[in-house]
Chain A
């Protein structure tokens, strides 16, 4: 990633964290960015669907059926990386 991409990824991660804290009543400090939100008990599986809708609306990153994997959505950091790569056309 170049500097612009790093900054963009950080902006996306911040937006995701803000959304999750607002929507699921959790303190940002309580979220482990490297663990699944479901495994942490913060959201259920339908919460994940809500996050995908938020990503499409807020960041304009289209999510296809084949994107719905733990590789892309298994943690907040993975989601931010996925959105960043999708927006840059890398994937």
Chain B
């Protein structure tokens, strides 16, 4: 059995999609059997391995948080709060389920939906949490997004779960959260990632910054070539901050330890005053730039960067396949002209990204 859906890269063209999840033919390393089911759905060994990693992650998280109880600290954790439903629910978990004192932090990349900003304020107020916003210099950040969209800044294989533009932003979120944690001696960094967005072995890990920085030096060099030396100001943690910190913090993804449907998450954050923003794409509840980043990823790779995450939710029966397909299809492309103008993309950029050929924007 072969099921086909419209191609993300070539409008009007159909391509095969797994009949059980939503992974499509251009996804790396995918194979379909006679029933049209992909090898990721058939990988029972991998699923068991994930379950084991989750169980180990849970034990590790509980041990770390229990040890923190004995420690007097202004903040137990800094939480990366995008204003979306997942990070809002993670904040609720951190405060109400785990009893942590949290510093909520939002990176305002210039594209946070106004409704998401309102949600952030309502949720932190409802939970009684301190909150700060960091807005990077947009005259540097926007060229970074442009470069990530146009050039091979990041390894192709590392972009199966995330678009290049989102990767540039999330890297900045992670670096800024780490700097805050080191400056304020906060032992944990929390984020609202779900399984599917990150592998099961990424639930908890120690943030060895210098090693991480050394490891990503090649991509930083490419970014420096494209944008300029000022990218270091965004993505580097000064030695003086690292040297005076007693230890690197742990990154913990609490939401990966839960099994919840989107409806359940929306119901819980709704009690805190969180409201579903309108006008965003089906895979984001906070960032307007997601529409552009997804479009670019689909043009370049032929599949949505959300296919893996949504497929995981479908396999775990936390979302139906039709719900996942509806999310993938929900793309407010009419916002592209505003987004490309805001990013100051040139006609050559638009041609390279395929926006002119698709008729999404005028040259």
Q: Which residues of A contact B (CB under 8 A)?
A: 19, 21-27, 36, 38-54, 57, 65, 68-70, 73
5 A-B contact pairs sorted by A residue (CB < 8 Å): A24-B158, A38-B155, A38-B215, A44-B158, A48-B211
Structural contact, A24 and B202, CB atoms closer than 8 A: no
Q: Which residues of B contact A (CB under 8 A)?
A: 27-29, 43, 46, 49, 52-53, 56-57, 154-158, 160, 167, 174, 198-199, 201-208, 210-216, 218-219, 248, 251
Nearest chain A CB to B292 CB, angstrom units: 21
Write out the residue numbers on chain B whose beta carbons fall within 8 Å of the beta carbon of A22. Answer: 43, 46, 49
Cα distance A69–B213 when bound, in Å?
11
Write out the residue numbers on chain A whose beta carbons fall within 8 Å of the beta carbon of B27. Answer: 25
Nearest chain B CB to A25 CB, angstrom units: 4
**Interface on chain A toward B: helix, strand, loop, or mixed SS?**
helix
Q: Which of A44, A52, A54, A69 makes the CB contact (< 8 A) with B155?
A: A44
Cα distance A22–B159 when bound, in Å?
15
Nearest chain B CB to A74 CB, angstrom units: 9
Structural contact, B216 and A57, CB atoms closer than 8 A: no
Cα distance A57–B53 when bound, in Å?
8
Write out the residue numbers on chain A whose beta carbons fall within 8 Å of the beta carbon of B155. Answer: 38, 40-44
Cα distance A53–B201 when bound, in Å?
6
Cα distance A25–B38 when bound, in Å?
13
Write out the residue numbers on chain A whose beta carbons fall within 8 Å of the beta carbon of B207. Answer: 49
Cα distance A23–B50 when bound, in Å?
10
Structural contact, A46 and B202, CB atoms closer than 8 A: yes
Cα distance A50–B204 when bound, in Å?
9
Structural contact, B53 and A42, CB atoms closer than 8 A: no
Structural contact, A70 and B202, CB atoms closer than 8 A: no
Seed contacts A22-B43, A44-B154; 7 additional CB < 8 Å A-B pairs? A22-B49, A40-B155, A47-B158, A48-B212, A48-B215, A49-B202, A53-B203
Please give me the residue from chain A that is nearest to B152 by CB atom: A41
Cα distance A69–B202 when bound, in Å?
19
Structural contact, A25 and B157, CB atoms closer than 8 A: yes
Q: Which of B28, B212, B213 makes the CB contact (< 8 A) with A49?
A: B212
Please give me the residue from chain B that is nearest to A42 by CB atom: B157
Structural contact, A57 and B160, CB atoms closer than 8 A: no
With A26-B29, A49-B212: A41-B201 Cβ-Cβ less than 8 Å? no
Please give me the residue from chain B that is nearest to A53 by CB atom: B201
Please give me the residue from chain A that is nearest to B158 by CB atom: A44
Structural contact, A53 and B156, CB atoms closer than 8 A: no
Cα distance A57–B213 when bound, in Å?
24
Write out the residue numbers on chain B whose beta carbons fall within 8 Å of the beta carbon of A51. Answer: 201
Write out the residue numbers on chain B whose beta carbons fall within 8 Å of the beta carbon of A70. Answer: 214
Structural contact, B158 and A41, CB atoms closer than 8 A: yes
Q: Which of B201, B216, B218 makes the CB contact (< 8 A) with A54?
A: B201
Cα distance A29–B212 when bound, in Å?
26
Write out the residue numbers on chain A whose beta carbons fall within 8 Å of the beta carbon of B158. Answer: 24, 41-44, 47
Structural contact, B199 and A50, CB atoms closer than 8 A: yes
Cα distance A24–B308 when bound, in Å?
11
Write out the residue numbers on chain B whose beta carbons fall within 8 Å of the beta carbon of A52. Answer: 205
Write out the residue numbers on chain B whose beta carbons fall within 8 Å of the beta carbon of A69. Answer: 211
Write out the residue numbers on chain B whose beta carbons fall within 8 Å of the beta carbon of A42. Answer: 155, 157-158
Structural contact, B157 and A68, CB atoms closer than 8 A: no
Cα distance A52–B248 when bound, in Å?
15
Write out the residue numbers on chain B whose beta carbons fall within 8 Å of the beta carbon of A27. Answer: 29
Closest 3 CB pairs of A and B: A41-B155, A68-B211, A45-B215
Structural contact, A25 and B202, CB atoms closer than 8 A: no
Cα distance A2–B27 when bound, in Å?
42
